[in-house]
Amino acid sequence: MKIVVIDGQGGRLGQLLTAGVKARLPQAQVCALGTNTVATAAMLKAGADFGATGENPVVRGVMDADGVLGPVGIVVANAILGEVTPAMAEAVGGCRAKKFLVPMNSCGVVVAGVEELSLAAYVSQAVEALAGELERD
């Protein structure tokens, strides 16, 4: 199974998601797709199987993914300090994979009705939701 983790800025969220997926689903192939090289490097350091940076890897990488994890801003163009392009947002939003998004108010996107939790709690919820979905298939 192919799991895509997308992140930008410093890659902290992507690093936590990558480590969480590798711990919970060790058989999964984790593809780290960064909007910048710092984010990609952070996810690779956390154990991603391979990584790439930029618009084209994100657009192509989500096409055959079984699951996509990242900040909620990955489906809103220019949400992560302008690092998410319209093509990236369209590709993620339109791909067949289930998306497991972590709300990050720092991206300029507020998700109404979402409980305020720590980043670790959001990561844990996202990874468990992904695992539950994949185990059902």
**Which pLDDT tens digit goes with each residue over 93-121?**
999 999 999 987 665 677 788 888 899 99
Which residue, among 48, 47, 41, 46, has the nearest Cα to 8 in the 3D structure? 41
Contact between 8 and 34 (Cβ < 8 Å) = yes
Q: Is the pTM of this model over 0.75?
A: yes
Q: What is the DSSP letter of 75?
A: G
Residues 6+ apart with CB under 8 A from 31: 2, 3, 4, 5, 48, 49, 50, 51, 52, 61, 65
Rounded distance, CA 120 to CA 95, Å? 26
Domains of the chain: 2-136 (3.40.50)
Residue 137: its pLDDT value, please?
Answer: 72
Q: How much is the average pLDDT of 117-129?
A: 94
